[in-house]
Amino acid sequence: MATKIRLKRIGAKKNPAYRVVVADARSPRDGRVIDEIGYYQPTRKPLVLKIDEEKALTWLARGAQPTDTVKSLLKKAGVWQKYSSGQETPEG
């Protein structure tokens, strides 16, 4: 099953808020999810971004592909650097 790490909109009209979720690539944007790994509120000042680092790294290691937006959020949270540095080291 192809999994994606993407945003799920939960905010009210003109007040977006998102959950960072792992979902099947074929499911709709706000459809069923496999796991919730964080949240993002872009309209707050300062903006609110909370990602469970351990869950995110686990799903990335399993092969979940982040969308472009989620990839930039993972970079802001510092998770992407840990994932990419761990990928370069040989295992075993």
Tens of pLDDT along 34-75?
999 999 999 999 999 999 999 999 999 999 999 999 999 999
Q: What is the mean pLDDT of the segment spanning 80-92?
A: 70
**Residue 89: what pLDDT?**
44
Sheet with 35-41: strands ordered across? 48-51, 35-41, 18-24, 3-9, 65-66
pLDDT at 33 over 80: yes
Task: Look up the pTM and report it.
Answer: 0.85
**Residue 86: what pLDDT?**
77
Respond yes or no on whether the N-terminal peptide bond of residue 46 is cis (omega within 30° of 0).
yes
3-85 has which CATH code? 3.30.1320.10
